[in-house]
Structure 1
């Protein structure tokens, strides 16, 4: 009998538990360890931040679903991972032992790396967690009573740019609906070297599509920009030249600001040599397995992926939903093999598929594979993207509630593009 522990129950961890339940032997057991008993559909956070959704609309209580799947569910945070002992120390003083571990924790949000950043003691909002999105909504309601300039974007080292673009245009749509748009100058501030880079060196014509949207909606932008510090009502930024020198320092006033932070690994795994890189992201091979600790796997945003290449301001690589589903499927299959005395042979696709909602329209893109050169390098825009994002939200929340593991992105994307398969092994 093998005991498999999944650390984390977000997008990756929840569906990991469901898919793995279909792969293990009868005598094996699964335990999910998470600090949060509820699943929150993170892609809906921009809607929560403008009042288009409530917390309860995007929340799933996982305990009952896990029970029905025969999965033990422990809602206690990890204190420290001890991979040499196959043990996780928990904050309540207990420990949990494992034969195999799947790390699916997501990242820690590094607000503290920039003075004044973030909703906790800082001056900017976040949409990375539903708690942050609710706080952002309260701040936005107050802002609308006294409108002024808005800044949205992503700081140096950020690796998740899509939500920043989404939130920019969702805010713009909501301001138009409230007849306040004419009172609100908007600026998009990003570490990307150009609009639409997305940490992927662009996908299709994301540069042209997103620049066009910003021009049409009167949103100014600053690229290759580093946030130096944030004060109340003021953001101090540096524009960086291609050689890394500072071209100019500027002070940008704001009445409301949302800046996506850089990510790093969570504290319980930070600094474990051979398991994580210096930023605390889990090192994995092509089978999602850690080279030093072969009974440890990593999936989702918490894993280490090298950047696309040097940029004047550091930009990370995003891990989109389809990519995470691909990691989950590969890991479940590979662990099923290992439990039966076989070698792992499934490789995640690591393609990038994204629906970016703009409130009443949106941009969709597909990068196959994620790293150029690509076989599919496609982007499109239109009202259909908004409708598709709403449909996906409803589908995925229902999927998590029911405990099903059917992959969505692959089927939807194949149908959209009229191709037979997306499963190409990732490069490297």
Structure 2
């Protein structure tokens, strides 16, 4: 019997648990350990922020769902990982030993890296449902006394889609309230151009997103670095291609939603050979750490080098499809090892994204996610808004049901028609179940 522990129960951790349960042997034991017993569907947070969704509509109590699958559950934060001893130390003083560990913690939000930044400072976020609810609570007061809105993503951010989504969703809500004409809007981003997305663009995302911002009368600033935030004022530096500061601007605001940079969580940071200097987990193409062969990593916590140099640092996003691909590879590889074989599966790392804009949206497919690509497609239209709603309902149902069925591949096949996406085994195609 082997003890398999999954550290984290967000999108990557929960679907990892479901797929690992299918891939392991009957005699093996699977445990999920996490700081939060409730799963929240993060892609719905921009809707929560404007009151289009409630917390209850997008949350799942994990204990009964995991119990139905025969998965043990420890809703206790991890205080320390000791990879030499193969043990997790939990904040309640207990320990959890493992034979195989899958790190699926997601990131820590690095609000403290900018003075006055974050929900405890002067800006908001849609990275967590608590932050989104805070925006929803303040929205009524804002609408009674409208002012300027700043949205976007700061230096080092690696998740740009939700910044664009919230920008257009709040714009749509202001139009519904008939006060859009009283609210100047500016999109501030570390991207070198609109629609870069940390991926050097996909299809015509540059043209589509620039056109959408222009149509909605939203100004933008690219290659921008947030220096500090004060009450009602953001100090932003515009950075030239050579890295020099070419201008510093003080932007007034009545509301500001800016996505932060990410870093690895504290229990992982500083472990030599396991993580990079930023605390993200080092993993090979099989999602396996090269120093600690019994440790695998999936999701946002995985270290991926940036696309290339940019005037302001831009990280690479880990999209839902990419995460599902990592999960399938990791689960199958651990299953192989448990049966005395070598890990042979690797994720396809393709990207499929549905970005909702309130009443329209942009979709893109990048296969693979890192260029050059075999598929490099983007499109916009009202159908994206409908598809995102369908995706939300389907995925929440999947999580509550406890199935390991891969949604993103199904979407690619049925909606986009780009063909069967596959894992790779010993240099030959092997199906990603």
Task: Give the TM bin, normalised by the shorter chain.
Answer: over 0.9
Q: Secondary structure at the match of 1:244?
A: coil
Question: For residues 309 and 182 of structure 1, what CA distance do their matches in structure 2 show?
Answer: 39
Deviations 1:94-148 (A, max 9, x none): 110000000000000000000011002x000000000111011112222111100
Equivalent position of 1:14 in the other structure: 14
1:408 aligns with 2:407: yes
1:249 aligns with 2:248: yes
Kindly indicate whether the alpha-carbon contact (under 8 Å) linking 2:337 and 2:343 is maintained by their aligned counterparts in 1: yes
Deviations 1:5-38 (A, max 9, x none): 0000000000100111111111100000011001
Matched ranges for 1:333-352 at <5 A: 333-352=332-351
Equivalent position of 1:292 in the other structure: 291
Equivalent position of 2:355 in the other structure: 356
Q: Secondary structure at the match of 2:353?
A: strand
Q: TM-score, normalised by structure 1?
A: 0.98
Kindly indicate whether the alpha-carbon contact (under 8 Å) linking 1:188 and 1:219 is maintained by their aligned counterparts in 2: yes
Equivalent position of 2:428 in the other structure: none
Equivalent position of 1:230 in the other structure: 229
Equivalent position of 2:71 in the other structure: 71
Kindly indicate whether the alpha-carbon contact (under 8 Å) linking 2:88 and 2:95 is maintained by their aligned counterparts in 1: yes
Kindly indicate whether the alpha-carbon contact (under 8 Å) linking 1:369 and 1:424 is maintained by their aligned counterparts in 2: no
Q: Secondary structure at the match of 2:170?
A: helix
Equivalent position of 2:270 in the other structure: 271
Equivalent position of 1:84 in the other structure: 84
1:184 aligns with 2:183: yes
Kindly indicate whether the alpha-carbon contact (under 8 Å) linking 1:269 and 1:276 is maintained by their aligned counterparts in 2: yes
Equivalent position of 1:28 in the other structure: 28
1:99 aligns with 2:109: no
Question: For residues 335 and 211 of structure 1, what CA distance do their matches in structure 2 show?
Answer: 44
Kindly indicate whether the alpha-carbon contact (under 8 Å) linking 1:139 and 1:256 is maintained by their aligned counterparts in 2: no
Q: Secondary structure at the match of 2:267?
A: helix
Kindly indicate whether the alpha-carbon contact (under 8 Å) linking 1:60 and 1:401 is maintained by their aligned counterparts in 2: yes
Kindly indicate whether the alpha-carbon contact (under 8 Å) linking 2:10 and 2:39 is maintained by their aligned counterparts in 1: yes
Matched ranges for 1:360-399 at <5 A: 360-399=359-398
Per-residue deviation at 1:424? Answer: 6.3
Question: For residues 154 and 138 of structure 2, what CA distance do their matches in structure 1 show?
Answer: 20
CA RMSD of superposed structures (Å): 0.9
Question: For residues 81 and 316 of structure 1, what CA distance do their matches in structure 2 show?
Answer: 25
Kindly indicate whether the alpha-carbon contact (under 8 Å) linking 2:8 and 2:104 is maintained by their aligned counterparts in 1: yes
Per-residue deviation at 1:273? Answer: 0.4
Question: For residues 62 and 315 of structure 1, what CA distance do their matches in structure 2 show?
Answer: 33
1:327 aligns with 2:304: no
Deviations 1:164-189 (A, max 9, x none): 00000000000000001000000000
Deviations 1:259-297 (A, max 9, x none): 000000000111000000000000000000000000000
Equivalent position of 1:220 in the other structure: 219
Matched ranges for 1:121-270 at <5 A: 122-270=121-269
Per-residue deviation at 1:414? Answer: 2.2
Q: Secondary structure at the match of 1:22?
A: helix
Per-residue deviation at 1:423? Answer: 2.5
Kindly indicate whether the alpha-carbon contact (under 8 Å) linking 1:350 and 1:370 is maintained by their aligned counterparts in 2: yes
For these two proteins, the number of residue pairs brought into alignment is 425
Per-residue deviation at 1:417? Answer: 2.7
Q: TM-score, normalised by structure 2?
A: 0.97
Kindly indicate whether the alpha-carbon contact (under 8 Å) linking 2:288 and 2:294 is maintained by their aligned counterparts in 1: yes
Q: Which runs of 5+ in 2 are unaligned?
A: 426-433
Deviations 1:187-238 (A, max 9, x none): 0000000000000000000000000001100000000000000000000000
Question: For residues 352 and 68 of structure 2, what CA distance do their matches in structure 1 show?
Answer: 31
Per-residue deviation at 1:337? Answer: 0.4
Per-residue deviation at 1:64? Answer: 0.4
Q: Secondary structure at the match of 1:411?
A: helix
Equivalent position of 1:62 in the other structure: 62
Deviations 1:282-336 (A, max 9, x none): 0000000000000000000001000000000000000000000011111111011
Question: For residues 141 and 82 of structure 1, what CA distance do their matches in structure 2 show?
Answer: 47
Equivalent position of 1:109 in the other structure: 109
Per-residue deviation at 1:415? Answer: 2.5
Question: For residues 207 and 233 of structure 2, what CA distance do their matches in structure 1 show?
Answer: 30
Q: Secondary structure at the match of 1:394?
A: helix
Question: For residues 205 and 354 of structure 2, what CA distance do their matches in structure 1 show?
Answer: 12
Kindly indicate whether the alpha-carbon contact (under 8 Å) linking 1:290 and 1:297 is maintained by their aligned counterparts in 2: yes
Per-residue deviation at 1:418? Answer: 2.0
Per-residue deviation at 1:425? Answer: 5.8
